Chains A and B, each alone.
Chain A
Amino acid sequence: MKKLVVFMSVMLMTVTSVAQKLEVCKTCAITTVQAAITQAKPFDTIIIRKGIYKEFDLNVDKPLTIIGKNQPVIDGELKGEIITITSDNVAIDGLIIKNVGTSYTSDYAAIRVKRSKNFTIQNVVLEKLFFGIYIERSNDGKILNNKIIGDAVEEYNSGNGIQLWYSKNIQIEHNVVQHVRDGIYLEFSDFCTIKNNLSSLNVRYGLHFMFSNDDVYENNEFSNNGAGVAVMFSKRIKMYNNLFKDNWGTASYGMLLKEINDAEIIGNTFHDNTIGINIEGSNRIIYKHNNFRNNGWAIKVRGACYTNTFTENNFLYNSFDIAYNSNVNDNTFDRNFWSSYTGYDLNKNGIGDIPYRPVKLFSYIVNRTPETIILLRSMFIDIIDFSEKVSPVFTPDDLMDNNPLMKKATW
């Protein structure tokens, strides 16, 4: 206890009395960022004035606050990584960083945080990058209000916008990530919060989880990505109030779930995606209060998926509401609104009197012979769908919503 008090007071002394400001500009005493970092003592603040600084491999190895005033530019001239943080308590604010080197052997980043804690990266603009912000074995950081605009075209030679690797408790908020491989990528990273970001026009995924547990993402927008969000091999992810739209293409989804357990998907909107949610081997997931509008397939279920519950979602004008590739079902559909429901409600309790079968025979046929999609909405298809509805053979016969809503679900 005594030791701690001594330590704390020493810390306080250093921060308040010793901390000083260093300025970097073309006409200042210090003209390069590298020099400022070298000269700075821990807990100093470096102010970088407007200008272009052609530097790379800047190693921040002590707790520093680096602030750009009037958006100074650090230009890496494609020579390699630009800023590497290897100390705790580093803050970076207000810089424009561009021209990160591209390499097939090392993942150069605009800003890399390595084995550090309590970092903050905010108001940074990254352009012409390979990897953007790369957090590696670091915890308790904040990544806020950054703008990452890449120029990725192909998957193999591009990097991710924000990448987390073995990192915990990271907050990622109000960032804009475009034209990179994965907008935001989490691998082995738990307890992170991803909020209010816009991730669009990325080559692969807007947001990508691998082996990451207990993360939350909410109020983000994912549009025009190769696929919106991929959640793979992860547990207890909470996905709230996000918008997934315009993810069009052969292997395009609003969301891809693969080997996911115990997740909550609540309040999201999926519209104009080829597939709203593509689910493979995912169990005990709660789908509630989501809107699926004008998707090719609202939900496509492949492989074994058990004990998922779909309640109070709205399925509006999707070409197919649900597609299954087997005729076994262990999932529950209850009290959803289906725009193609044609039943009636005689007792006026707001719930249709006959159950709704969301899986159509035609979706099974299209799954088998994709070209038959051209017959969508044909009267012949309506007839065979109807006969399948009457006596299911190819589609799961217990898959139905026993309480289909007569009006859109609201919450």
Chain B
Amino acid sequence: MLKILKYSFYDLMRSRWSYVYFAFYLLLGIVLLFLNNDLSKAVITLMNVIIILVPLIGTIFGVMYYYNSKEFTELLLAQPLKRSSIFLGQYLGVAISLSMSLILGLGLPFVFYGLFESSAIWDFSLLLITGTFLTLIFTALAFNIALSNENKIKGFGYAILLWLFLAVIYDGIFLMILIGFEEYPLDKVSLIGTMLNPIDLSRTLILLKLDISALLGYTGAIFKQFFGTSFGLIVSFIALSLWVIVPVLRIVYKSKKKDF
């Protein structure tokens, strides 16, 4: 698997898309910092960007890589290699190169700006960790979609739809449910609802840092326990890890069943 990871990664490092992605983050970081001149504000803006764009780029890039590297996959399949290693290797190759673009692209401008002397370093690290998790999750979801759909157009369609659903529509439905059942105690429901969507989950993690004053304004005891202690942070990270593990397991399962 490591060898395939190496070659996928190598392959991606030569493709211009990784550079586009890297350049995009680099530019974003620079523009945010040097136009805003304010680290805290830049971190807030970045959070919005990371929560929306990282999943989008992860899904699109994942699906695109899968379909574009069909030849490579076929070549590998003709070799005496385990299927799960082929697909996991490719998945990790994509996910790691995307994460690296993210971390380096955003990290470099911030480091040059003097991040290490700033109090925003924890917020920023949390942002990068969340971004990496989102990349791992959405690339895995993208591979799942691509593995289940031979048709490229269909695959892209589902990928965009998935992103749209999790980034926007889910929250709309979630809001309707919360308002619709407002007479009932809802703190458990709202926390569970958050766990079921990786984008919401990452958003909550960041809220814990940025908006803790507002979150503590709410009375529910479970809320308080969740947001007032490290419990929330731990649970969120466990849920995020599950969101990586489950789709990856499905990649393994699907790839074993698939005909080429």
Q: Do chains A and B touch in the complex (CB under 8 A)?
A: yes
Q: Which residues of A contact B (CB under 8 A)?
A: 248-250, 252, 272-275, 294-297, 316-317, 319-320, 339, 365, 368-383
Q: Are A380 and B172 in contact, CB atoms less than 8 angstroms apart?
A: yes
Count class of interface residues, chain B: 35 or more
Report chain A residues within 8 Å CB of B191.
Answer: 374
Q: Are A375 and B171 in contact, CB atoms less than 8 angstroms apart?
A: yes
Q: Which residue of A lies closest to B206 (CB)?
A: A377
CA–CA, A378 to B219, complex, Å?
21
CA–CA, A374 to B204, complex, Å?
7
Is B220's beta carbon under 8 Å from chain A? yes
Report chain B residues within 8 Å CB of A376.
Answer: 203, 207, 211, 214-215
Is B217's beta carbon under 8 Å from chain A? yes
Report chain A residues within 8 Å CB of B41.
Answer: 317, 339
In the complex, which residues 185-218 of chain B have their Cβ closer than 8 Å to any Cβ of chain A? 186-187, 189-191, 193-194, 200, 203-204, 206-207, 210-218
Q: Are A365 and B175 in contact, CB atoms less than 8 angstroms apart?
A: yes
Is B179's beta carbon under 8 Å from chain A? yes
CA–CA, A338 to B218, complex, Å?
25
Q: Are A370 and B218 in contact, CB atoms less than 8 angstroms apart?
A: yes
Q: Are B213 and A379 in contact, CB atoms less than 8 angstroms apart?
A: no
Report chain A residues within 8 Å CB of B215.
Answer: 296, 373, 376
Q: Are A365 and B40 in contact, CB atoms less than 8 angstroms apart?
A: no
Q: Which residues of B contact A (CB under 8 A)?
A: 40-41, 44, 47-48, 51-52, 167-172, 174-175, 178-179, 182, 186-187, 189-191, 193-194, 200, 203-204, 206-207, 210-220, 223
CA–CA, A374 to B216, complex, Å?
11
**Known contacts A296-B211, A371-B218: A377-B179 contact under CB 8 Å:** no
Q: Which residue of B lies closest to A294 (CB)?
A: B213
Report the minimum CB–CB distance from B200 to chain A (whole Å).
Answer: 7
CA–CA, A31 to B182, complex, Å?
69
Report chain A residues within 8 Å CB of B186.
Answer: 369, 371
CA–CA, A72 to B168, complex, Å?
68
**Known contacts A376-B211, A383-B168: A248-B216 contact under CB 8 Å:** yes
Report the minimum CB–CB distance from A314 to chain B (whole Å).
Answer: 12
Q: Are A377 and B203 in contact, CB atoms less than 8 angstroms apart?
A: yes
Report chain B residues within 8 Å CB of A275.
Answer: 217
Query: Looking at the complex, which one of A294, A320, A368 makes contact with B182 (CB distance below 8 Å)?
Result: A368
Q: Are B216 and A250 in contact, CB atoms less than 8 angstroms apart?
A: yes
CA–CA, A313 to B172, complex, Å?
34
Report the minimum CB–CB distance from A78 to chain B (whole Å).
Answer: 35
CA–CA, A369 to B220, complex, Å?
12
Q: Are A372 and B175 in contact, CB atoms less than 8 angstroms apart?
A: yes
Q: List 11 A-B contacts (CB under 8 A).
A: A248-B212, A296-B211, A317-B40, A319-B214, A370-B220, A371-B218, A374-B200, A375-B171, A375-B175, A377-B48, A377-B210
Q: Are A249 and B216 in contact, CB atoms less than 8 angstroms apart?
A: yes
Q: Are B214 and A320 in contact, CB atoms less than 8 angstroms apart?
A: yes
Report chain B residues within 8 Å CB of A250.
Answer: 216-219
**Known contacts A374-B191, A377-B47, A379-B51: A369-B213 contact under CB 8 Å:** no
